[in-house]
């Protein structure tokens, strides 16, 4: 009897990944930070730190605070800007093996379109992830992501400015994430990424000072996993567009939950801070689990929830 | 060397001063490849997801060819958990990380440490003493029962100037006051690590007396590898990550 190889490919619209596990934006830098520590080639994709047209210095310290089973961050999209990214970061990323997904963030619709155009011609970029859900910047970001019509405008502007597959990362800080998902999906994007961080804060009870320099930041980690899973479930039921799950995934069991809820692939975020090889461990554990189940492909598990 | 991630064995966790614990970790042959000023990320600290983040500690001393010592001040839940670990416990370690001190080739080296910030200066002092250099450590603490390792360092040949806020040992007053008295005797380089107000004051003195100065900074960190930008400081020259652009910086770049 022939032992058929397990098919781990994940199809996110026009983007096909060899494996269904990626790193989440903002938690893996540009890959180079982990090159000597992690078997990068095993991963499906590296999603870069968010890139803006011009360099951004980010927010004042402290930028991070530990919270129960998670963390708050208010980094504020510190990044070297498009030009330096293309010159200094992209060449290295191309050589690492996984697909390269560039996360982009603008202050205006024109910024998003300009980023999309520039990255379209750069070569070596496999897809764009549109950030309309960052809670840590004054303009753009979350302001676009909470209004279905504005979210769709950004998605359409990017979609029309590039031939690359386009993923849109959604915020959970809305009453009805399915409504935003429907509006964005209607623009014909390739995937919806659920979810970005939730807005949160913490105060030092003794000093009375907020634990973040920016006061309010984004909550991530296992603490938000049930929220992320619910968002994936609601969105996947609502749209035909592929859904990518992210939020508190730290082990293969978590990944299985998200696949069953309807995600075709997952991203591993701040679990990488605890163990640099967290994403690789998620992938290996998932492969072993699927082999044990006796299924032929990872996609068979997608949406397999017994209601 | 590039950082590696390994499972260290805790040789012992010993209380060395009030609310100060010294961890001795066997990490293997990579121990001697660390440079003074570098640090490690310790953790996960527990099986579950709480505490969530790993913790940065500078390397306090080399202990033999295969072990590092870390100085842990008990300031919160994570550090209390570390202080209560039993010998032979296994602890994931990522390191060595960050930049090291770059002392000049000649002259007496002035080191200024405050509180637990003295930790990396011991590694630097012992490394330089072993190379035959003269080392003078100005060591400030709130009180005598918070001082660590002074006799041992003096026995290795360092001049240790103790300063306590309450006068319970050595000079009574801030370490910067004692340092000010001693400057102008020909030394032209100093390294400092401790609370930010101390570093700011030390930098001011270095500027006044024309010394080059390096400071080792602390900040909250998530990754330790430069990926998360969580420890970036907005310095005059732009954002700088404490974990990979530092933790040791030229003082003029910071203050």
Instruction: List the CATH number of the domain containing A160.
Output: 3.20.20.70
Across the range A95-119, mean pLDDT stands at 96
At A61, list the tokens. Answer: 């310290």
| Domain annotation covers residue A66 | no
| Residues B81, B46 contacting (CB under 8 angstroms) | yes
Do the chains contact at A33 and B54, CB–CB below 8 Å? no
In DSSP terms, B150 is beta-bridged to: none
Residue A68 lies in a domain: no
A67 interfaces chain B, CB cutoff of 8 Å: yes
- The answer to whether position A283 is within a domain reads yes
Q: Is B46 on the interface with A (CB under 8 A)?
A: no
Rounded Cα distance, B165 and B178, in Å = 11
A278 chain-B contacts, CB cut-off 8 A = none
Q: Answer yes or no: do A64 and B54 touch at CB < 8 A.
A: no
**Domain tally, chain A:** 1
Rounded to the nearest 10°, the torsion over CA A225, A51, B230, A181 is: -20
The rounded distance, in Å, linking the Cα atoms of A231 and A226 is 9
The CA-based dihedral angle spanning residues A234, A240, A241, A243, taken in that order and rounded to the nearest 10 degrees: 40
Q: What band does A134 get if pLDDT is binned at 50, 70 and 90?
A: confident
Is A237 within the bounds of a domain? yes
Active site residues of A: 134
B161, pLDDT greater than 60: yes
**Binary contact (A270, B222; C-beta < 8 A):** yes
- To the nearest whole angstrom, how far is the Cα of A42 from the nearest Cα of chain B? 18
Q: How far apart are CA A48 and CA A30, in angstroms?
A: 5
CB contact B169 to A (< 8 Å)? no
Q: For residue A70, tell me if it sits in a domain.
A: no
- Please name the residue that has the structure tokens 């032929």: A296
Q: Residue range B89-105: average pLDDT?
A: 96
Do B38 and B248 meet the contact criterion of CB atoms below 8 Å apart?
no
The separation between CA B131 and the C-alpha centre of its own chain, rounded to angstroms, equals: 20
Higher pLDDT, B48 or A205: A205
DSSP track, A196-248: -PEEEE-B-TTT--BSSTTSEEEEESGGGHHHHHHHHHHHHHH-SSEEEEESS
Q: What is the pLDDT of residue B132?
A: 94
- So what's the pLDDT on residue B185? 73
A184-212 average pLDDT score? 97
pLDDT of residue A5: 87
The residues near B243 (Cβ < 8 Å, ≥ 6 apart) are: B39, B56, B97, B98, B221, B223, B224, B225, B226, B231
ipTM, two decimals, is: 0.94
Q: Does A306 map to a domain?
A: no
Q: Is residue A211 part of a domain?
A: no
Residue B204: φ, ψ to 5°: -60, -40
Q: Is residue A208 part of a domain?
A: no
Residue in B43, B50, B78 nearest the CB of A69: B50
User: Given this model, what pLDDT does residue B187 score?
Assistant: 83
Give which of B49, B93, B94 to mutate to test A binding, by max A Cβ within 10 Å.
B49
C-beta contacts of B122-128 below 8 A and 24+ residues apart: B122/B60, B122/B61, B122/B149, B122/B153, B123/B34, B123/B36, B123/B37, B123/B58, B123/B59, B123/B60, B123/B61, B123/B62, B124/B36, B124/B37, B124/B191, B125/B153, B125/B156, B125/B158, B126/B61, B126/B62, B126/B153, B126/B156, B127/B36, B128/B103
Task: Write down the residue that tokens 């070596």 correspond to.
Answer: A124
Assessment of whether the complete model's pTM goes beyond 0.90: yes
Cβ-nearest to A273 among B54, B92, B244: B54
* Residues B239, A57: C-beta atoms closer than 8 Å: yes
pLDDT at B128 over 80: yes
Planar angle of CA B50, B51, B56, nearest 5 degrees: 155
Q: A37 and B5: CB-CB below 8 Å?
A: yes
Chain B residues inside the 8 Å CB shell of A62: 219-220
Residue A119 domain boundaries: 10-58+76-198+222-301
């Amino acid at each position: 009897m022939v032992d058929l190889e397990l098919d781990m490919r994940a199809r996110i619209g026009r983007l096909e990944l060899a494996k269904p596990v990626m790193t989440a934006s903002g938690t893996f830098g540009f890959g180079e930070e982990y090159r000597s520590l992690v078997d990068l080639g095993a991963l499906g994709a590296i999603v870069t730190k968010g890139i803006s047209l011009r360099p951004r210095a980010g927010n004042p310290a402290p930028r991070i605070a530990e919270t129960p089973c998670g963390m708050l961050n208010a980094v504020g999209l510190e990044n070297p800007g498009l030009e330096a990214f293309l010159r200094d970061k992209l060449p290295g990323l191309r050589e690492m093996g996984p697909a390269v997904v560039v996360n982009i963030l603008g202050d205006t619709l024109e910024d998003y379109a300009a980023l999309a155009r520039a990255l379209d011609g750069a070569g070596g970029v496999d897809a764009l992830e549109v950030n309309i859900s960052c809670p840590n910047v004054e303009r753009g970001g979350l302001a676009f992501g909470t209004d279905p019509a504005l979210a769709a405008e950004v998605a359409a502007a990017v979609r029309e400015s590039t031939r690359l597959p386009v993923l849109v990362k959604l915020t959970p800080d809305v009453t009805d994430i399915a409504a935003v998902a429907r509006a964005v999906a209607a623009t014909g994007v390739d995937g919806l990424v659920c979810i970005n961080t939730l807005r949160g804060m913490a105060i030092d009870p003794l000093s009375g000072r907020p634990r973040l320099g920016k006061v309010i930041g984004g909550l991530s980690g296992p603490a938000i996993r049930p929220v992320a899973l619910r968002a994936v479930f609601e969105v996947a039921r609502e749209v035909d567009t592929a859904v990518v799950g992210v939020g508190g995934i730290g082990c293969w069991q978590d990944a299985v939950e998200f696949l069953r809820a309807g995600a075709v692939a997952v991203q591993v975020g701040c679990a990488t801070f605890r163990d640099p090889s967290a994403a690789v461990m998620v992938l290996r554990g998932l492969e072993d689990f699927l082999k044990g189940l006796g299924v032929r492909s990872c996609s068979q598990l997608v949406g397999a929830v017994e209601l | 060397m590039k950082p590696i991630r390994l499972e260290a064995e805790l040789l012992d966790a010993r209380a060395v001063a009030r609310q100060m614990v010294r961890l001795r970790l066997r990490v293997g042959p990579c121990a001697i490849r660390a440079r003074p000023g570098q640090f490690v990320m310790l953790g996960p600290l527990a099986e579950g997801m709480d505490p969530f983040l790993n913790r940065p500690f500078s390397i306090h001393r080399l202990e033999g060819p295969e072990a590092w010592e870390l100085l842990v001040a008990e300031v919160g839940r994570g550090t209390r958990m570390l202080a209560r670990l039993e010998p032979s416990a296994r602890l994931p370690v990522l390191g060595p990380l960050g930049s090291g001190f770059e002392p000049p080739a000649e002259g007496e080296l002035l080191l200024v440490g405050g509180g637990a910030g003295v930790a990396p200066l011991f590694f630097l002092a012992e490394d330089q003493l072993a190379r035959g250099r003269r080392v003078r450590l100005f060591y400030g603490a709130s009180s005598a029962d918070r001082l660590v390792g002074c006799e041992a360092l003096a026995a290795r040949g360092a001049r240790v100037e103790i300063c306590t806020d309450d006068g319970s040992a050595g000079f009574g007053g801030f370490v910067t006051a004692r340092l000010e008295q001693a400057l102008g005797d020909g030394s032209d380089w100093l390294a400092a690590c401790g609370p930010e107000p101390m570093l700011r004051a030390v930098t001011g003195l270095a500027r006044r007396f024309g010394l080059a100065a390096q400071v080792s900074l602390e900040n909250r960190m998530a990754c330790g590898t430069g990926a998360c930008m969580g420890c970036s400081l907005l310095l005059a020259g732009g954002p700088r990550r404490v974990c990979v652009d530092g933790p040791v910086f030229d003082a003029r770049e910071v203050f």
